[in-house]
Structure 1
Amino acid sequence: MHLSSPAIVLSVRPHGEHGAIVRALTPRDGVQPGYVRGGRSRAIRPVLQPANAILGEWRARTDVQLAALTVELVHSRAPLFDEALPAAALEWLTALTATLLPEAQPYPQIYAALDAVVDAVEAAPSARGWAGSIARYELLLLAELGFGLALEECVVTGAREHLAFVSPKSGGAVSRAAASGYEARLLALPAFLQAGGEAGWNEVFAGLAITRHFLERDLLTGRAAEVLAARGRLVERLQRAVA
């Protein structure tokens, strides 16, 4: 097994006295684990920061053996971890991706989306510029893993206009007219989840409420639910930024 590819670092776990086991997302070969010799050294540790863009080279004698991984830094996002909000965003994005994606399965859309949202966190002058993209990324993960929401038309009437809610049971959109009298049982659907574009803070939090509900129900169960603590820290810091 020999693979050379650009990748985004997702997680790093110490192994032995000096090494580290790294999981990184590649464009064509999905999540790839590898053992980095000296991964805990002062020279290599900054390269293995989650969210960093690297060029990785994985080598193993067999497909079932943990590959030896050598890394070259392409772009460091380490400075973002000195700021509370960007740090919380990158921690959540990488932890969620590492938790949900199976190894060695190609997810080119997820790679492109993660790369884009991490770039947005790095480039935007405030969280307002990237917070909505977190919800859209979570929505993509749900879809790619078989739990996509049906937001194109009303699940009750088939109408494509005035979609204002999401059913927490079916994951389908509900029009304002069809929701009459049942609004309290439904999740508010912000327009940016369908059409993209900018979102106000109320819309951002509404979008995050939708994706959290379905992530918790369908994907983050059992031990995987532990990763939700990182999401809680992110949302708490976003709420503080608005207050």
Structure 2
Amino acid sequence: MEWRDQGILLAVRRHGETSAIIEVFTPSHGVHAGVVRGGTSRKIAPILQPGAQLDVAWRARLDEHIGAFTVEPVRSRAAVVMGDRLALAGLNAVAGLLTFCLAEREAHPALYRRTEALLDLLDAMDLWPLAYLRWELALLEEMGFGLDLSACAVTGARVGLAYVSPRSGRAVTEAAAGIWADRLLPLPSVLLGQGDGDDAEVLTGLGTTGYFLEHRVAPELGHHPLPAARARFVELFARLRGS
């Protein structure tokens, strides 16, 4: 069995004395693990940095085997993230959520394209948090928990939307919320694709998407907690930019 694809390196761990096991996210083969022989060597180790874009070839005797990768660098994102704490935290959040949410070897080509575009914005941190929020919306959609923010779940109105129902993921207007408003999640205009997407609104939006990741996606996957990397990114973003 063998295939070749391009992918984003999500994680690396040492394997034996000289090898490494890597996880890559590819458009045609999803999140896929394999052994890189000599992965700890001076030649290969610098290539194996999370976030790197790699050309990978996978080979195994049987499809169910972990198999082995040969890798060639396409582009590195290490220089960008090592010079910016928020960029590094964001990259770790993306990698953590992908490995947490996606079943191994299951293709998600649309999400892959969005992820690659998101990581290519890591050197534009004025734009990146909003792009990341929209990526989380896409991830929820991919996992079957997409938010329906097109109209009020109660009245059908398309204006005045102010909340999201934590049960249905549908929008609710302020008027329809009434006395139940404190039980609903905030719906900042940035989640509707409106406004400038200032940092405070993005942070509010991350609270709402985070609720569905924690209370809908995680239980579906077996009640595991969300990756700590996501919380670290949100906390750092709030500390640096949320005031």
Pairs aligned (count): 239
1:218 Cα shift? 1.7
- 1:112-131 equivalence runs, <5 A: 112-122=113-123, 124=124, 127-131=125-129
Asked whether the equivalents of residues 12 and 22 of structure 1 are also in contact (C-alpha less than 8 Å), the reply is: yes
Distance 1:50 1:223 in 2: 26
Distance 1:90 1:40 in 2: 22
- 1:27-66 equivalence runs, <5 A: 27-66=27-66
Asked whether the equivalents of residues 132 and 207 of structure 1 are also in contact (C-alpha less than 8 Å), the reply is: no
1:179 Cα shift? 1.6
Partner residue, 1:84 = 85
Partner residue, 2:234 = 235
1:180 Cα shift? 2.7
- Structure 1 counterpart of 2:42, one-letter code: R
Structure 1 residues 128-137 or 209-218, which shifts more? 128-137
Asked whether the equivalents of residues 190 and 203 of structure 1 are also in contact (C-alpha less than 8 Å), the reply is: yes
Distance 2:18 2:216 in 1: 37
Tell me the secondary structure at the aligned position of residue 122 of structure 2: helix
- Coordinate RMSD, CA, aligned: 1.6
Distance 1:40 1:71 in 2: 13
1:176 Cα shift? 2.0
Tell me the secondary structure at the aligned position of residue 110 of structure 1: helix
Distance 1:235 1:87 in 2: 12
Distance 2:120 2:218 in 1: 25
Partner residue, 1:164 = 162
Residues 4-50 of structure 1: per-residue CA shift (max 9 Å, x gap): 11101111121111211111111122112111011122221221111
Change (3 A) 1:183 1:197: same
Asked whether the equivalents of residues 87 and 122 of structure 2 are also in contact (C-alpha less than 8 Å), the reply is: yes
Asked whether the equivalents of residues 132 and 199 of structure 1 are also in contact (C-alpha less than 8 Å), the reply is: yes
Percent of matched pairs sharing the same residue: 43
TM-score (norm 1): 0.92
Residues 94-129 of structure 1: per-residue CA shift (max 9 Å, x gap): 11111111112110111011111111122x1xx331
Partner residue, 1:3 = 3
Change (3 A) 1:138 1:39: same
Partner residue, 1:71 = 71
- Structure 1 counterpart of 2:11, one-letter code: S
Change (3 A) 1:73 1:198: farther
Distance 1:185 1:74 in 2: 47
1:223 Cα shift? 7.0
1:196 Cα shift? 6.2
